Amino acid sequence: MPDDDADRLRGLVAEFLRRHDPAGGATAFLGARFDAGLAWVHHPVGLGGLGLPRRLQPVLDEALARAGVPDHRPRRNSIGLGMAAPTVLRHGTPAQCQRWLRPLWTGEEVWCQLFSEPDAGSDLAAVTTRAVRDGDDWVVDGQKVWTSLAHRARWGLLLARTDPGVAKHRGLTYLVCDMTAPGVLVRPLRQLTGEAEFNEVFLTGVRLPDTLRLGAVGDGWRVARTTLMNERVAIGGRPLPREGGMIGLLARAWRARPELRTHGLHADLLRAWVEAEAARLTALRLRQQLAAGEPGPEGSAVKLTFAELAQRISALELDLLGDEGLRYDDWTMRRPEEPDLLGRTAAYRYLRARGNSIEGGTSEILRTVIAERVLGLPPEPRVDRPPSESGPDRPPPGPRPDRPPSEPGPDRPPGEPGADR
């Protein structure tokens, strides 16, 4: 990375801060950042970026963090920032990018993901929600489930079946659903924690103009793969400082409560700390590799590690705290704007972490993705196709001579995980 690029970016940030007062309000400040190209530096000029290499994003983030400026509360709009933005940028028209990216960045418009269905989660391509063309509109009918933020969302990333007469991966189209449109009904799904982060969404005769389509008709699977790959990076690859997150809470409890210590728990804590640090560095390396292109199947490994580590750390915290760890702060039914893992009790963290191995692709499915698409192992048997069947959408496993190693794999991976939302 040339030093002059980083120095020029720091100079732009300093000049921006001289001209814009964060005290004027978070939304206005974030909008000014977008207009100045200081949202995503790798985005084109006019779409929140400067056309610079993605690897310069940490330089921007660090300079702004030192200035103490307001952020866009990324956990409040995690789907919009982590999944919708890269999908719109890659597959959207210029008009769509202009319409959606700025209010998405500022948090004025929250996004959700309408992928999973009662009978289509891990096998996402089996979705049955139908979208039928009617003139310049699509009429959508179906049900989605485990939809985070649907109760707050203005827009939803929607995968629907538009041609039931072809192979299931080829009959899908990707739409953006107006969550305020007539026929959209959102109902809460109460979780083990007592909250309702998730929802079920019923779509009945919802009319969406064709201008809300991302990608070509019938090409929804390819667009959805962009969303899924970015989802795993967003879930498992969040940047954290050393001893950040749940392992930091556990380490501080250990240091502050010597009466709770045992030799066995000490060994378990050391093991968890090493695993958490290794996972943090792996996630950091993954984010650095994104500078070379789009995320690939390697993000599945990071998300898998994050899920299992969160469950082990939360269980260890309960063991350390004993009876105190079993106290639960509040079973009140509520619909939070964002998860609050670090601000709640150990019991809450333990219960909430149970969902980490389901949301964003189950751990079982992610292991299949890693085996077949990262390690190149033979595909797992599928009940929905003969073992000998292959085709243009199902190439043999292993390296592809027509595709660089960093590029996403075949358009028809077996058992591609569905989203949790």
Convert the pLDDT of each residue in 37-58 to its tens digit. Answer: 999 999 999 999 999 988 888 8
Residue 48 domain-assigned? yes
Residue 92 domain-assigned? no
Percentage of the chain lying above the pLDDT 70 cut: 84
Convert the pLDDT of each residue in 241-271 to its tens digit. Answer: 677 788 999 998 888 888 878 888 889 999 9
Q: Are residues 199 and 245 in the same domain?
A: no
Residue 418 domain-assigned? no
Q: Are residues 156 and 262 in the same domain?
A: no
Q: Are residues 245 and 358 in the same domain?
A: yes
Residue 227 domain-assigned? no
- Closest residue by Cα to residue 356 from 197, 199, 188: 197
- Judged against a pLDDT cut of 60, whether residue 388 lies above it is answered with no
Domain boundary (175, 190, 218) is at 218
Q: Are residues 169 and 258 in the same domain?
A: no
Beta bridge partners of 351: none
Catalytic annotation, residues? 231
Q: Are residues 119 and 179 in the same domain?
A: yes
Residue 10 domain-assigned? yes
Q: Are residues 178 and 272 in the same domain?
A: no
- Judged against a pLDDT cut of 90, whether residue 98 lies above it is answered with yes
Radius of gyration of the chain (CA): 22
- Judged against a pLDDT cut of 70, whether residue 348 lies above it is answered with yes
- Closest residue by Cα to residue 360 from 235, 193, 237: 235
Query: What per-residue confidence (pLDDT) applies to 143?
Result: 98
- Judged against a pLDDT cut of 50, whether residue 411 lies above it is answered with no
- Closest residue by Cα to residue 351 from 337, 334, 331, 368: 331
Contacts of 398 (CB under 8 A, 6+ apart): 376
CA 239/CA 44 separation, integer angstroms = 24
- Judged against a pLDDT cut of 80, whether residue 383 lies above it is answered with no
Residue 265 domain-assigned? yes
Q: Which residue segment(s) compose the domain that 320 sits in?
A: 238-374
- Judged against a pLDDT cut of 70, whether residue 357 lies above it is answered with yes
Query: What per-residue confidence (pLDDT) applies to 69?
Result: 87
For 362, the 3-state DSSP assignment is coil
Q: What is the mean pLDDT of residues 98-115?
A: 96
- Judged against a pLDDT cut of 50, whether residue 148 lies above it is answered with yes
Which residue type does 58 have?
P
Q: Are residues 244 and 356 in the same domain?
A: yes
Q: Are residues 160 and 262 in the same domain?
A: no
Q: Are residues 196 and 254 in the same domain?
A: no
Q: Are residues 281 and 348 in the same domain?
A: yes
Q: How many domains does the chain contain in total?
A: 3
Q: Are residues 148 and 65 in the same domain?
A: no
Q: What is the mean pLDDT of residues 313-334?
A: 86
259: which 2 tokens? 């009466």
Q: Determine contact, residues 279/42, Cβ cutoff 8 Å.
A: no
Residue 64 domain-assigned? yes
Convert the pLDDT of each residue in 209-243 to its tens digit. Answer: 999 999 999 999 999 999 988 876 666 556 666 77
CATH number reported for the structural domain that contains residue 187 in this entry: 2.40.110.10
What confidence category does residue 407 fall into, taking pLDDT thresholds of 50, 70 and 90?
Answer: very low
Query: What per-residue confidence (pLDDT) applies to 404?
Result: 39
Query: What per-residue confidence (pLDDT) applies to 235?
Result: 61
- Judged against a pLDDT cut of 90, whether residue 156 lies above it is answered with yes
Residue 130 domain-assigned? yes
